[in-house]
């Protein structure tokens, strides 16, 4: 097109030359000039039309589609408030503050506001979607035990439960790391639009997209070397430049910009243009992520929804537009303050502020919220969520379609997990770093066993240093953490019509022992090198006796153990003797899955990360279900849990109590060969947690599970269970209790030196009274 136009001009010049007479007659000159004018006009018209149609095509196409590629957002699980919940008032206030709710004195707060009243906390939940029906403000009342009432302030009715707004964990970005919170024009405070118009384009509401006065003023100021309060580009021009053009300073780009601005003004109202502009503009960086739009900038700088910002805060935001990095209030507070005051002055000059208001606001100190560079509160978890989503959605959809991904993660628990793991690994380093010259690694996963919800997920010590997720991808030996599977297989024999029945009171002899198996010999040893002689299965598990467990495994059957192991989720388990001591590889994810069965009355629950996926409009695209499968009899699961309670009350897990965790809990320590892995797995009736510690290169950590992993577990569980109701493990039907002599496993009599209450699957309880401690008379005459 351009070439054709140039050729046309050349041809015209040749014709003009031909027309110009050698005699220089004035009439012929005029004719020639007129001809030239007509040609230029035609050319200009062609150019203009071409420019118009090409620009119109671009603008119209853009306005018909989504204006921004918005990343998907991953949300944490929304806390559920309910009557009777053991929750402190301070927790609720802190949670609302964390979600940028603003404090107010109104008894019926506005959206994203809360009020601390005499009779409780009133707040008004934000709607995540524009299409969502109105959410009424609520009043949460407290007594000494926690929440006493939840009242709908508008309807005055009581609510059984109320789901809070979920917190954002992270966003899923593609190649463009732009974060943007879309704001509608009616949500923008008037003083913000006034500030922006005052400093960027005073005649915004008067011009038609191009402000010729401003251009002339800018040129004059430029020539005269004067300081300019505002440039020559209008807001509409800036908007189209950001949307469609490059920043190159060429005439063709400027012409396109002007044409597009003119077209835009004919397609959109002024308010719509301003809304787009304020959502589009770049306003700084947060780590690798760029902050675009006043909605996102307001959250970053003031921790406020933009509708709640003050006049000086509006002025600060408006001032940032010209040079976001130069006027960055964190890096250059003096320049930012000065620019803010300039905007306030402009507002006064345009009549948006009175003299008094200006004097008042210009004295207000510039306050911004401390900078928080963290853009992902659970990076390992986010990776798992992302990889699961990629199985179902296209990359482009995830990165650009603003999906809302509601997950199971509890952000409080996640924070406790991070703190506990970090502190625990630091303690290990204090003891081990000098020898190993490397930092210990670890991971922690916490699950609600009944639903399989993952509540906390830390795949390693530092995501920035290593993105390798040790929970789902590491292969480590489970060691003694696998022993409960051996004992579960033994207890299950009661239902399998086997000739030999095992109970927690079954006696097994812990002594030096050699197994000859498939032309090989295997001689398991206890970790402490001690042997305990005759003991019950309960005690053998509590003290994590290797020889006793290995002998039990041979009695129970390796195929049966491997079979149950597979059902529980240990994919690589095979039927050979050393599986009894966990000599094969598993991931912490698998360990967690398996233990849900014990914690959940024999029912396996698949671990869940995502609860629901919704589109940008709030329409549900996918809802994940609780997946359950019966694996063990409930009686087996209950008795095994009871045996693992003994691990904590008086076995290898006893430090749990010494460290101050007092709730009913069951657990198992795990230490592998040469102390390469240290595990602790434990659960209360409503929370299960797996902790692994070790080194990535398999260097021995030289600590037991009780020494390295257990303290992390305790630190986490103490905090994580504080808002959960305290409950005990409840027994299913078909479990009976009998008093037995722990030395013989038989029914205790009054002559036994000690008697303990033991639990049995109904029908497997011993029937014979203790023969060893019968009375002298019984021995003589019986």
Partner 1 sequence: MKYVLRLISVFLILFAISACGPKKLKPGEPAPTTPPPTTTPSQPPPPSQPPAETPKPQQPPPTPAKPPLEVPQMKPRQPSKADPASAKLMDAGAKQLNAGNLDQAEELFEQALRVSPTNGKPYYYLGVIASRQKDNERALGFLQQAENYLHTDNFWMSQVLYQEGLTLKAMKRIPDAKKKFQDALDRDPGNQYASKELKALGIK
- Find the binding residues for partner 1 in span 105-164 (CB under 8 A): 145-146, 160-161, 163
Token look-up 């390693």 returns 460
Pick 753 or 763: Cβ nearer partner 1: 753
Spell out the residues 6+ positions from residue 175 whose beta carbon is closer than 8 angstroms to its own: 399
Out of 69, 310, 686, 722, which residue is the one contacting partner 1 (CB under 8 A)?
Answer: 686
Q: Give min distance, CB of 126 to partner 1, in A.
A: 20
- Interface residues for partner 1 in 731-770 (CB under 8 A)? 731-733, 735-739, 742, 747-759, 769
Find the part of the chain contacting partner 1 (CB under 8 A) among 44-52, 118-126, 560-568, 623-631.
Answer: 623-631
- For strands 168-172 and 72-75, give the pairing: antiparallel
Select 521 or 625, whichever has its Cβ closest to partner 1.
625
C-alpha distances in angstroms, 645 versus 342, 543, 558, 634, 747? 68, 12, 25, 16, 22
Per rule CB under 8 A, is residue 312 in the interface with partner 1? no
| Alpha carbons 276 and 60: distance in angstroms, whole number | 15
d(CA 183, CA 403): 17
Selected from 319, 452, 478, 685, the binder of partner 1 by CB under 8 A is 685
Using the rule CB under 8 A, give the single segment among 346-354, 355-363, 375-383, 648-656 that binds partner 1: 648-656
| Residue 261 · residue 237 · CB < 8 Å | yes
Stretch near partner 1 under the rule CB under 8 A, chosen from 226-234, 261-269, 521-529, 637-645: 637-645
Residues between 84 and 103 that touch partner 1 (CB under 8 A): 84-86
Select from 630, 674, 698, 763 the one that contacts partner 1 (CB under 8 A).
Answer: 630
The minimum distance between CB 528 and partner 1, in angstroms, equals 16
Strands 120-123 and 138-143: antiparallel
DSSP code at position 545: -
Q: Kindly tell me which residue out of 357, 642, 673, 696 binds partner 1, with binding defined by CB under 8 A.
A: 642
Whether residue 758 lies in the annotated active site: no
Least distance CB 675 / partner 1 (angstroms): 26
User: How far is residue 346 CA from its own chain's centroid?
Assistant: 42
* Pairwise CA distance, residues 511 & 508, whole Å: 9
Nearer to partner 1, 153 or 756 (CB): 756
Choice among 165, 178, 200, 492 that is catalytic: 200
- Cβ proximity to partner 1: between 366 and 632 the closer is 632
Choice from 634, 653, 711, 745 touching partner 1 (CB under 8 A): 634
Instruction: Supply the DSSP symbol for 608.
Output: B
86 or 208: CB nearest partner 1: 86
CB of 661 to partner 1, least distance (A): 15
Q: Give the footprint of partner 1 on residues 203-222 (CB under 8 A).
A: none
Residue 90: C-alpha distances to residues 96, 354, 383 (Å): 10, 40, 32
Q: Looking at 549, 646, 672, 704, which residue binds partner 1 (CB under 8 A)?
A: 646
Query: H-helix or E-strand containing 566?
Result: helix 558-568
Which CB sits closer to partner 1, 429 or 765?
765
Number of residues engaging partner 1 in binding (CB under 8 A): 75
Is residue 629 near partner 1 by the rule CB under 8 A?
A: yes
Distance CA(656)–CA(678), nearest Å, equals: 15
CB 273 to partner 1: min, Å:
41
Beta strands (DSSP E) in 160-304 are 161-163, 168-172, 178-180, 282-286, 289-292
Phi, psi torsion values for 539, nearest 5 degrees: -70, -35
Q: Yes or no: say if 172 and 71 are a contact pair by the CB < 8 Å rule.
A: yes
Backbone angles phi, psi at 97, to 5 degrees: -65, -40
CA of 421: how far to CAs of 96, 119, 169, 377, 381, in Å? 26, 38, 19, 15, 15
Nearer to partner 1, 375 or 736 (CB): 736
Shortest Å distance, C-beta 534 to partner 1? 14
Rounded to a whole number of angstroms, the minimum distance from the CB of residue 540 to partner 1 is: 11
Pick out residues in 49-78 that bind partner 1 (CB under 8 A): none
Q: Shortest approach of partner 1 to residue 251 CB, angstroms?
A: 59
**What minimum distance in Å lies between the beta carbon of 628 and partner 1?**
3
Q: Does the protein bind partner 1 through residue 628 (CB under 8 A)?
A: yes
Q: Considering beta carbons, is residue 163 or 426 the nearer one to partner 1?
A: 163
- Rounded CA-CA distance 758/739 in Å is 6
Question: Measured between alpha carbons, how far is residue 553 from residues 150, 168, 253, 515, 669 in Å?
Answer: 54, 48, 79, 12, 19
Least Cβ distance, residue 742 to partner 1 (angstroms): 7
Q: Pick from 226, 435, 728, 772: which binds partner 1 (CB under 8 A)?
A: 728
CA atoms within 13 A on the CB side of 679: 31
- The correct pick among 8, 83, 285, 673 for binding partner 1 (CB under 8 A) is 83
Q: Which of 664, 696, 700, 722 binds partner 1 (CB under 8 A)?
A: 664
Token output for 744: 């013989």
Query: Which residue from 98, 394, 423, 623 is in contact with partner 1, where contact means CB under 8 A?
Result: 623
Contacts with 499 (C-beta within 8 Å, 6 or more apart), sequence order: none
- Within 597-616, the residues that bind partner 1 by CB under 8 A are 600-604
Is the CB of 262 or the CB of 729 nearer to partner 1? Answer: 729
Q: Are strands 603-605 and 289-292 parallel, antiparallel or unpaired?
A: unpaired
Residue 368 and residue 329: Cα distance in Å, rounded? Answer: 8
User: Comparing C-alpha atoms, which of 598, 562, 457, 522 is closest to residue 170?
Assistant: 457
**Which residue among the candidates 314, 472, 480, 587 is catalytic per the annotation?**
480
Nearest CA to 771 among 754, 747, 753, 742? 747
Alpha carbons 540 and 522: distance in angstroms, whole number: 19
Residues 161-180 that bind partner 1 (CB under 8 A): 161, 163
Alpha-carbon gap, residue 645 to 591, rounded angstroms: 18
Q: Which helix (H) or strand (E) holds 19?
A: helix 2-19
Closest approach, Cβ 142 to partner 1, in A, equals 14
Nearer to partner 1, 497 or 520 (CB): 497
CA nearest to 310, candidates 200, 184, 189, 193: 189
The nearest distance, CB 547 to partner 1, in angstroms, is 19
Whether 480 is a known active-site residue: answer yes
Which CB, 557 or 664, lies closer to partner 1? Answer: 664
Say if residues 569 and 590 touch (Cβ distance below 8 Å).
Answer: yes
Q: Which of 649, 699, 722, 723 binds partner 1 (CB under 8 A)?
A: 649
Query: Measuring CA to CA, which residue among 141, 135, 140 is closest to residue 154?
Result: 135
Q: Which residues ranging from 441 to 470 are in contact with partner 1 (CB under 8 A)?
A: 448-451
- Candidates 80, 90, 220, 323: give the one binding partner 1 (CB under 8 A): 80
Contact map string, positions 272 to 301, toward partner 1, x by CB under 8 A? ------------------------------
Cβ 160 to partner 1 shortest distance, Å:
3
Q: Which residue in 222, 627, 698, 772 binds partner 1 (CB under 8 A)?
A: 627
Ranges within 500-559 binding partner 1 (CB under 8 A): 538-539, 542
Q: Pick the stretch among 213-221, 249-257, 282-290, 622-630 that binds partner 1 (CB under 8 A).
A: 622-630
State the Cα–Cα distance between residues 577 and 550, nearest whole angstrom: 7
Question: Nearest to residue 286, comparing CAs of 370, 199, 342, 229?
Answer: 370
Longest distance between any two alpha carbons in the chain, whole Å = 158
Cα 658 to Cα 227, 260, 538, 540, 662, distances in angstroms = 71, 72, 21, 21, 9
Nearer to partner 1, 304 or 567 (CB): 567
Catalytic residues: 200, 480
């Amino acid at each position: 097109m351009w070439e054709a136009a140039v050729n046309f001009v050349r041809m015209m010049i040749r014709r003009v030359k031909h027309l110009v007479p050698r005699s220089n007659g004035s009439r012929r000159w005029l004719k020639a000039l007129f001809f030239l004018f007509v040609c230029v006009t035609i050319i200009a018209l062609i150019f203009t039309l071409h420019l118009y149609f090409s620009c119109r095509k671009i603008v119209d196409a853009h306005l018909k589609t989504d204006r921004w590629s918005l990343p998907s957002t991953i949300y944490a699980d929304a806390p559920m408030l309910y009557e009777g919940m053991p929750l402190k008032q301070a927790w609720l206030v802190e949670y609302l503050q964390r979600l940028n709710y603003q404090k107010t004195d109104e008894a019926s707060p506005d959206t994203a506001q809360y009020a601390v009243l005499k009779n409780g906390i009133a707040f008004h939940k934000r709607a995540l979607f524009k299409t969502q029906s109105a959410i009424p403000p609520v009043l949460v009342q407290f007594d000494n035990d926690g929440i006493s009432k939840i009242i709908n302030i508008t309807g005055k009715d009581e609510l059984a439960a109320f789901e809070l707004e979920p917190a954002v964990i992270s966003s899923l970005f593609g190649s463009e790391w732009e974060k943007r919170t879309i704001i509608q024009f009616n949500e923008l405070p008037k003083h913000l639009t006034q500030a922006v118009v005052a400093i960027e384009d005073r005649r915004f509401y008067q011009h038609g997209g191009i402000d010729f006065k401003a251009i002339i003023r800018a040129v004059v100021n430029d020539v005269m070397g004067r300081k300019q309060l505002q440039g020559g580009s209008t807001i509409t021009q800036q908007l189209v430049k950001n949307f469609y053009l490059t920043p190159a300073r060429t005439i063709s780009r400027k012409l396109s910009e002007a044409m597009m601005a003119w077209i835009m003004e004919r397609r959109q109202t002024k308010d719509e243009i301003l809304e787009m502009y304020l959502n589009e503009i770049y306003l700084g960086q947060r780590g690798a992520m760029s902050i675009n739009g006043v909605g996102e900038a307001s959250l970053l700088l003031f921790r406020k929804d933009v509708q709640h910002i003050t006049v000086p805060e509006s002025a600060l935001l408006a001032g940032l537009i010209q040079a976001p990095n130069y006027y960055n209030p964190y890096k250059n507070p003096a320049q930012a303050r000065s620019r803010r005051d300039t905007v306030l002055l402009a507002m006064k000059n345009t009549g948006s502020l009175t003299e008094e208001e200006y004097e008042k606001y210009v004295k207000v100190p510039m306050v911004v919220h401390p900078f928080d560079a963290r853009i992902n509160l659970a990076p390992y978890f986010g990776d798992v969520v992302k990889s699961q989503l990629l199985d179902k959605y296209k990359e482009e959809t995830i990165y650009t379609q603003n999906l809302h991904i509601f997950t199971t993660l509890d952000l409080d628990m996640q924070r406790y997990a991070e703190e506990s793991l970090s502190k625990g690994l630091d303690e290990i380093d204090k003891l081990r770093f000098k020898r190993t010259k490397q930092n210990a690694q670890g991971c922690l996963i916490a699950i609600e066993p009944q639903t399989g919800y993952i509540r906390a997920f830390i795949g390693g010590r530092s995501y920035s240093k290593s993105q390798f997720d040790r929970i789902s991808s590491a292969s480590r030996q489970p060691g003694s953490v696998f022993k409960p599977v051996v004992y579960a297989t033994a207890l299950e024999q009661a239902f399998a019509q086997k000739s030999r029945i095992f109970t927690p009171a079954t006696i097994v002899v812990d002594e030096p022992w050699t197994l000859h198996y498939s032309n090989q010999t295997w001689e398991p040893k206890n970790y402490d090198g001690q042997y305990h002689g005759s003991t019950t299965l309960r005690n053998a598990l509590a003290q994590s006796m290797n020889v006793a467990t290995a002998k039990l495994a041979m009695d129970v059957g390796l195929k049966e153990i491997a079979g149950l192991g597979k059902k529980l989720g240990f994919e690589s388990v095979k039927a050979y003797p050393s599986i009894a001591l966990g000599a094969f590889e598993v991931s912490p994810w698998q360990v967690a899955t398996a233990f849900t069965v014990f914690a959940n009355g024999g029912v396996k629950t698949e671990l869940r990360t995502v609860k629901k996926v919704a589109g940008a409009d709030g329409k549900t695209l996918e809802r994940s279900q609780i997946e359950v499968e019966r694996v063990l009899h409930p009686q087996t699961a209950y008795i095994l849990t009871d045996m693992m309670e003994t691990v904590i009350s008086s076995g290898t897990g006893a430090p749990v109590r010494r460290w101050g965790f007092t709730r009913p809990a069951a657990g198992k320590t795990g230490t592998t060969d040469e102390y390469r892995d240290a595990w602790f797995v434990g659960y209360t009736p409503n929370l299960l947690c797996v902790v692994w510690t070790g080194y990535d290169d398999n260097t021995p950590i030289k600590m037991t599970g009780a020494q390295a992993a257990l303290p992390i577990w305790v630190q986490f569980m103490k905090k994580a269970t504080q808002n959960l109701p305290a409950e005990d493990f409840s027994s299913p039907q078909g479990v009976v209790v009998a008093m037995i002599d722990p030395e013989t496993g038989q029914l205790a009599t009054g002559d036994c030196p000690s008697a303990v209450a033991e639990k049995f699957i109904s029908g497997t309880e011993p029937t014979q009274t203790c023969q060893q401690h019968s009375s002298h008379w019984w021995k003589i005459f019986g």
